[in-house]
Amino acid sequence: MSSLVVKNPAPAIQCYPPGPRGHWLTGTVQRWRENSLKYLCELTQEYGDAVRFRFLLHWYGYIFSHPDHNKYVLQDNNHNFTKLPHPTFLLLQPLVGRGLLTNDGDSWLSQRRLIQPIFHRRRIAQFGAIMTEATEAMLDRWATTAGAGRPVDIDHEMTALTMEIVGKALFSIDLTGECDAVGQAFTAVNKQLAELNTRPFSVFLVRCLPFLPEVRRLMANIAVLDDVVGKIVQERRATGQKKDDLLDMLMEARDEETGQGMGDKQLRDEIMTLLLAGHETTANTLSWTFYLLSQHPEANQKLQAELATVLGGRSPTVDDLPNLTYTQMVVEEALRFYPPAYGIARTVVAEDEIGGYHVPAGSVVMLSPYLTHHHPDFWPDPERFDPERFRPEAVAARPRYAYIPFGGGPRQCIGSHFALTEAQLILATIAQRCRLELVPGHPVEPDPLITLRPKYGLPMRRLEIGD
């Protein structure tokens, strides 16, 4: 090749990514509302790793799905890509306020520093017993209520289980009595917020038109969740007992300069954030894992062989995890295939350039773990479920930002180690006692809400090992 030929010449600074203009008035709104995940995939198939779409009128959004783009936005120049005032995070605020997930700037940093210690590996190791005991209790319940091959809804069961675990581990409270109410309210909120998220002016609707029926329904569901958070705080204040858990840490935290404690509102926001973020995504991961295993018997057999060799029928502990390598690879591959947080949104502070394309100040940028995890340049045959992709040598050969189920950079998920430990322990505990089989003919489709859930639930039959 001649030295004068430049491969991939850098585009001029004002070059925007390609993409659709959509309807002359309503842009692409309707396509997003029909099925946002499907549309995301279609856009990248048609236009590539960088897409600019017209949302409505003169509002443009940007989608980036190459690992280099992820690294630039989440890590290298993260200060220029903030959560606020992105409409998605503003929409989440009635639910989680200015908790860790939706906060920004100095206030976020001081809260993150405060909460981080509870997620240290040493602390998480102490939660291992809570995780396996709750799972075994669930299996015992299944043995009586789901006997004789009656199916259980795995999605519902995993949600209840992970909520019980997060309640006990972080707040030393038993939420089993609340699981159904919280599960139903949160499912409704998840759907309502996802619907609003693809609608123009939705932040205005929620903030300024509280009398609209849909806004009232949303607030009513949030009120159910608020009651549970209120109960968590009241119980601790009433007993005055120290439990050395996250709740104690939050309630005792003092500002270094003013010596002031966290206000009730901030306390509520942090508890709500950790209660919801701490169970929903892990439940989704487990549901998808069991579904994928049911479709890939060879992977399921390998998993069961590993569990038999390493555990030999006893309950798994955190100390077993380094030896349960295939179990870990199964969870990692499920997180690749169906990343529960399938979209990561940011607002651009000052005009910038991503992958050679111009992005103006104030625009909204979306990264998508789903798109990156199905990118054929980094994941050969991406629609094939294959835990072997997570062998150490394969991981080392891929760019770090080709796999972002927990995001990256300073805003990386605080609960990633908690979630992986929990998912592996739950999977090992269940899979060594039984195999789960999807009810034949049941439709399975990912529903792109705020998180990626199985749209029609996951009714599965429990087969004893060896059946």
Interface with ligand HEM includes 91 (CB under 6 A)? no
If one asks whether residue 277 binds ligand HEM (CB under 6 A), the answer comes out as yes
Closest separation in Å from C-beta 345 to ligand HEM = 7
Shortest distance (Å) from residue 370 CB to ligand HEM: 11
Please name which of 281, 247, 251, 250 lies closest in space to residue 413, comparing C-alpha atoms.
281
Nearer to ligand HEM, 215 or 366 (CB): 366
Positions 165 through 194 that interact with ligand HEM (CB under 6 A)? 166
For the CB of residue 31, give the shortest distance to ligand HEM in the complex, in Å.
23
Q: Is 340 in the site for ligand HEM (CB under 6 A)?
A: yes
C-beta of 146 vs 365, nearer to ligand HEM: 365
Out of 95, 344, 365, 402, point to the residue binding ligand HEM (CB under 6 A): 344
Q: What is the 3-state secondary structure (H, E, C) of the chain?
A: CCCCCCCCCCCCCCCCCCCCCCECCCECHHHHHHCHHHHHHHHHHHHCCEEEEEEECCEEEEEECCHHHHHHHHHHCHHHEECCCCHHHHHHHHHHCCCCCCCCHHHHHHHHHHHHHHHCHHHHHHHHHHHHHHHHHHHHHHHHHCCCCCCEEHHHHHHHHHHHHHHHHHHCCCCHHHHHHHHHHHHHHHHHHHHHHCCCCHHHHHHHCCCCHHHHHHHHHHHHHHHHHHHHHHHHHHHCCCCCCHHHHHHHCECCCCCCECCHHHHHHHHHHHHHHCCHHHHHHHHHHHHHHHHCHHHHHHHHHHHHHHHCCCCCCHHHHHHCHHHHHHHHHHHHHCCCCCCEEEEECCCEEECCEEECCCCEEEECHHHHHCCCCCCCCCCCCCHHHHCHHHHHCCCHHHCCCCCCHHHCCCCHHHHHHHHHHHHHHHHCCEEEEECCCCCCCEEECCCEEECCCCEEEEEECCC
273 binds ligand HEM (CB under 6 A): yes
Give yes or no for residue 101 binding ligand HEM (CB under 6 A). yes
Under rule CB under 6 A, residue 334 binds ligand HEM = no
Closest contact distance (angstroms) between CB of 414 and ligand HEM is 5
Our CA angle for 277, 279, 284, nearest 5°, is: 100
Rounded least distance, CB 112 to ligand HEM, Å:
5
In the complex, the smallest distance separating the C-beta of residue 429 from ligand HEM, rounded to whole angstroms, is 17
Burial 311-336 (b: 16+ CB within 10 A, else e): beeebbebebbeebebbbbbbbbbbb
Which range in 60-68, 182-190, 407-415, 433-441 contacts ligand HEM by CB under 6 A?
A: 407-415
Nearest distance in Å: CB 406, ligand HEM: 5
Using CB under 6 A, pick the residue from 27, 67, 405, 454 that binds ligand HEM: 405
Among 28, 285, 287, 300, binds ligand HEM (CB under 6 A): 285
Report the residue closest to ligand HEM, judged by CB.
415
* Region from 57-65, 247-255, 338-346, 390-398 binding ligand HEM, contact rule CB under 6 A: 338-346
Nearer to ligand HEM, 17 or 405 (CB): 405
The nearer residue to ligand HEM, 281 or 294, going by C-beta atoms, is 281
Closer to ligand HEM by Cβ: residue 96 or 146: 96
413 lies in the binding site for ligand HEM (CB under 6 A): yes
Which is nearer to ligand HEM, 273 or 347 (by Cβ)? 273
Nearest distance, CB of residue 375 and ligand HEM, angstroms: 17
Counting other chains too, the contacts that 210-215 makes at CB distance below 8 Å and 24 or more residues apart are none
Q: Shortest distance, CB of residue 360 to ligand HEM, whole angstroms?
A: 21
Looking at beta carbons only, is 124 or 359 nearer to ligand HEM? 124
What is the per-residue binding string for ligand HEM in 419-438, x denoting contact by CB under 6 A?
x-------------------
Taking phi over 0 as left and psi of -120 to 50 as alpha, with beta for the rest, 89 belongs to alpha
Compare residues 146 and 267 and give the one whose CB is closer to ligand HEM: 267
Minimum separation from the CB atom of position 281 to ligand HEM (A): 3
Nearest approach, Cβ of residue 389 and ligand HEM (Å): 17
Q: At closest approach, how far in Å is the CB of 243 from ligand HEM?
A: 16
282 binds ligand HEM (CB under 6 A): yes
Structure tokens given for 421: 């430990």
Distance CA 171, CA 428 (A): 25
Q: Which residues bind ligand HEM (CB under 6 A)?
A: 100-101, 112, 166, 273-274, 277-278, 281-282, 285, 340-341, 344, 405-407, 411, 413-415, 418-419
